[in-house]
Amino acid sequence: MPVEIFMPKLGMSMEEGTIVEWLKKKGDPVKKGESVVVISSDKIEKDIEAPEDGVLLEILAEQDETVAVGKVIGYISQKNEVERDQSTTTMKQANLEAAISVETMKPLEAVRRKPRVSPAARKLALEAGIDLNSISGSGPQGRITRADIEKAIQAKRSGSDLQRKKQLEIATMQQKTNNHTGVTVKPITGIRKVIATRMFTSLQQTAQLSIHMRADVTELLEIQKKVRADFLDEHGVKLTITDFIARATILALLAHKQMNSIYQDEHIHTYDSVHLGIAVALENGLIVPVISHAEKLSVKEISAKIKNLSLRAKEGNLESEEMKGSTFTITSLGAYGVEFFTPVLNPPEVGILGVGTVTDTPVFVGDVVQRRSLLPLSLTFDHRVIDGVPASKFLSTIKDYLEKPYKMLI
């Protein structure tokens, strides 16, 4: 019996998946545990392994096709089963060809009768090149009239006009293509398609507003440098400024719980615990692994968690449950030299923090100009849930923690 390959359920909320790529072709041998097909959900891409040794007998869902969870996408069969199926198919084909041969030897049982046509209709049909056998007469006893021929001529002209129009459209498209060399066109699929849909939906269905501030992280960078080596030697953890930003954000969310919310089904769900999403850039898109109950973690534990999730995200080893349930997200473009930008909300969350690159800037401290390190922060929030003033207070609290880093360590 052929073994079925199903579209798996990678998470509780997954209802369908997309075929990203078949790693094997129909007829290829496969071994149990060998990757056969790559599928993607709205969160992750995953290789599906062969459940048994054998041959990939049939592919039922092609690349880029979306399939419901639990539906069969292919079959694996033993080699002897394939040979038996091929033998049966050959026999059926031979029997069919024999039947056709016998049938063609039978005399025609009936001869097509000549249609009844009026002389005027016959003459008009001959001039217009209309096949009388293709016309159903509207006259008495099915007699073909001049009106029937005129209708057939009009239909023929309409068909010719439509064909010429299609040919013109094709020629126009080919001309445009010829005028632009070096163009590669490919459909949006997999994670890229999911991101495109989610971002477009986010902008359409939320009232997004962004505000910006700069935090003076001069002292924070000094502390980071001092403790970095000690933490690396003692705990194997390399502290980064992102770790401190995450900690400051968590503390600010605890102080401003309205921001630690989601907007769903016209209800605001406000959380006591912080489930922090950290955006991770991949080659083919962006995913957001989640640090659950982040308020219970120290800076060291946050750092270890961020690095572990980021590494496994890039290796494609995250579980679906590790990318669900976030109440707030941090995304950063600082490593790419970007200062301020406008992050797009990750629905159903009502807030997302964008982090830019640290820039050394001359700043007046009293009457003295000093070189200070400034960190750009961009907060996007859903105005349906939060107004500008409480959002500004939340961002100011993050800024305060970053500028007075000792408060995060108490």
Q: In angstroms, rounded to a whole number, what is the distance separating the alpha carbons of residues 132 and 143? A: 11
Of residues 393, 89, 391, 377, the one with CA closest to residue 246: 377
At residue 118, φ and ψ (nearest 5 deg) are -75, 150
Judge whether 387 counts as a catalytic residue: yes
Residue 383 known to be catalytic: yes
Report helix, strand or coil for 387: coil
332 strand-pairing partners: 355
CA–CA gap between residue 41 and residue 13 (Å, rounded): 10
Contact by Cβ (8 Å): 49, 30? no
Query: For residue 182, which phi and psi values (nearest 5 degrees)?
Result: 75, 25
Beta-bridge partners for 29: 55
Number of neighbours of residue 276 by Cβ within 10 angstroms: 29
DSSP-derived letter for residue 171 is H
How far is Cα 408 from Cα 394, in angstroms, rounded to an integer?
16
115 cis-preceded (ω within 30 degrees of 0): no
H helices of 265-386, in order, are 299-315
Q: Mapping DSSP to helix (H, G, I), strand (E, B) and coil, where does residue 375 land?
A: strand
* Residue type at 129 in one-letter notation: G
Q: Are 34 and 22 in contact (CB under 8 A)?
A: no
Q: Whose structure tokens read 């995913």?
A: 287
CA distance 224 to 31: 50
Q: How far apart are CA 275 and CA 272, in angstroms?
A: 10
Q: Which two tokens stand for residue 326?
A: 């976030």
Calculated CA dihedral for residues 136, 138, 140, 142, nearest 10 degrees: 10
Per the residue annotation, which of 64, 256, 383, 400 is the catalytic one? 383
Q: How far is CA 5 from the centre of its chain?
A: 22
- Choose, from 28, 269, 387, 400, the residue flagged as catalytic: 387
Residue 159: φ, ψ to 5°? -65, -40
d(CA 391, CA 387) in angstroms, rounded, equals 6
Strand ranges for 227-350 from DSSP E: 261-264, 267-270, 276-278, 280-282, 285-287, 290-291, 328-332
Known catalytic residues are: 383, 387
